[in-house]
Amino acid sequence: MTAAAPPSLLERARSGDRRALGRVLSVVENEEPGAAEILRETYAQAGRAVVIGITGPPGGGKSTLVSRLVGAYREDGSRVAVVAVDPSSPFTGGAILGDRVRMQQRALDDGVFIRSMASRGHAGGLSRTTARVVTVLDALGTAVVIVETVGVGQEEVDVVRVADTVVLVMVPGLGDDIQAIKAGVLEIADVLVVNKADRPGADDAARDLAQMLTLGKGRTPWKPPIVRTSATTGEGLQDLVAAIARHRAWAAESGEHDRRRAGAARAEVEAVLREALVRRLADRIGRDRLERVVERVARREVDPYAAVDELLAE
Ligand SMILES: Nc1nc2c(ncn2[C@@H]2O[C@H](COP(=O)(O)OP(=O)(O)OP(=O)(O)O)[C@@H](O)[C@H]2O)c(=O)[nH]1
Ligand SMILES: [Mg+2]
């Protein structure tokens, strides 16, 4: 592992070389040799970007909305990045590819960087990898990072937690599906969007969401606003941008922003610590002994708890 190679790549990435940036992100994403150095070199410079998470059921118009948001944040010349995460897809799936095509128009703009990530190769670690990709983009001069994730399950919730402001995109006519979403995602939503407001039922959907919010625990004094948009026409976009900005200002002032960053830092440190401990213990135990115990567990001669007790006893 050479310490010299990554920094030069980093310098190129920092100065706006998109290929270099893509390469840096691949190293970090796939935990290739040099990933730790990249993080070491960039970590201190991160923390300046506005990080926005967009999540919601498939087909709700998230990518169309993201594309609009990119346009809005590009107006002042800021560098903007989109990280499209698809936790549900075992492959680099069709949805992401579709997103790419749809965002092509933005991608032609030099100040916009689009990155697709699928769950392949990230067993359980997708949220951490996403957080690292965001950190590196942030450190290398991206002013706004938008993380789009498809779906409404726990993994999507974990992924989107990297954001300072989480936007949940719903559509009219979801009916009972709204109830299913309630459990996980509604609690982490800072801004609620009823997209496709050009379709019938937007008022009903907004009312249902408002109703559900009153049932919520109210983790913080922040009341998530409900914004109606039509991503295809751009209607309501300014309201959404304003709502995101209001949330950001509130979070900064109330301390919520720092609390979230602290929570993310804790999760990151604990994950790295866990990895380091497991690696060290495994080294001490020895590969052969570990393998023998694993085989015995596989044959059900011993249960995993007893096996670990046994390994740690010596
Ligand atoms: N009528 C209407 N159609 C919309 C609106 N926003 C998006 N669409 C359409 O809805 C479809 C899905 O839009 P996407 O932006 O791909 O939705 P998505 O949520 O990113 O989809 P996935 O990433 O596959 O979950 C496309 O055909 C869009 O043109 C809207 O405000 N009104
Ligand atoms: Mg999409």
Q: Given pLDDT bands bounded at 50, 70 and 90, which one contains residue 159?
A: confident
Residue 79 to residues 73, 89, 122, 190, 196, Cα–Cα distance (Å): 8, 28, 27, 24, 28
Minimal-distance CA residue to ligand 1 atom 14: 61
Q: Is 228 in the pocket of ligand 1 (CB under 6 A)?
A: no
Q: Is-contact 124 87, C-beta < 8 A?
A: no
Considering only CA atoms, which of 147, 138, 178 is closest in space to residue 38?
138
Percent of the chain with pLDDT over 90: 53
Distance 151 CA to ligand 2 centre (A): 10
The whole-angstrom separation of Cα 180 and Cα 200 is 21
Inter-helix orientation angle 256-285/304-313, to 10°: 70
Residue 120, both tokens: 């392949």
Q: Please provide residue 111's backbone torsions phi and psi, each rounded to the nearest 5 degrees.
A: -85, 5
What residue type is assigned to position 106 of the chain?
A: R
pLDDT higher than threshold 50 for residue 88: yes
Residue 151, both tokens: 């779906």
Does domain 46-254 correspond to CATH entry 3.40.50.300?
Answer: yes
Q: Is 149 in the pocket of ligand 1 (CB under 6 A)?
A: no
* Interval 135-149 mean pLDDT: 95
pLDDT higher than threshold 60 for residue 1: no
Q: Is 235 in the pocket of ligand 1 (CB under 6 A)?
A: no
Distance 15 CA to ligand 1 centre (A): 34
Minimal-distance CA residue to ligand 1 atom 13: 61
What residue type is assigned to position 221 of the chain?
A: P
Among 72-81, 213-222, 267-276, the least confident range: 213-222
What's the pLDDT tens digit per position in 23-67?
999 999 888 899 999 999 999 999 999 999 999 888 899 989 999
Q: Given pLDDT bands bounded at 50, 70 and 90, which one contains residue 116?
A: confident
pLDDT higher than threshold 90 for residue 221: no
Looking at the CA of 93, name the nearest ligand: 1
DSSP 148: E
- Per-residue pLDDT, 212: 81
Q: Is 87 in the pocket of ligand 1 (CB under 6 A)?
A: no
Residue 56 to residues 18, 109, 146, 166, Cα–Cα distance (Å): 29, 26, 14, 10
Minimal-distance CA residue to ligand 1 atom 8: 61
pLDDT averaged over the chain? 85
* Interval 196-206 mean pLDDT: 92
Q: Given pLDDT bands bounded at 50, 70 and 90, which one contains residue 255?
A: very high
What residue type is assigned to position 216 of the chain?
A: G
Q: Is 101 in the pocket of ligand 1 (CB under 6 A)?
A: no
The whole-angstrom separation of Cα 14 and Cα 6 is 12
The whole-angstrom separation of Cα 244 and Cα 169 is 13
Distance 74 CA to ligand 1 centre (A): 21
Task: Indicate which atom in ligand 1 lies nearest the CA of residue 233.
Answer: 31
* Interval 142-164 mean pLDDT: 85
Looking at the CA of 231, name the nearest ligand: 1
Task: Indicate which atom in ligand 1 lies nearest the CA of residue 65.
Answer: 15
The whole-angstrom separation of Cα 170 and Cα 205 is 8
Distance 109 CA to ligand 1 centre (A): 22
End-to-end CA distance of the chain: 34
**pLDDT greater at residue 42 or residue 119:** 42
Percent of the chain with pLDDT over 70: 83
The ranges assigned to domains in the chain are 1-42, 46-254, 266-313
- Per-residue pLDDT, 4: 53
Q: Is 21 in the pocket of ligand 1 (CB under 6 A)?
A: no
pLDDT higher than threshold 80 for residue 252: yes
Distance 204 CA to ligand 2 centre (A): 24
Q: Is 53 in the pocket of ligand 1 (CB under 6 A)?
A: no
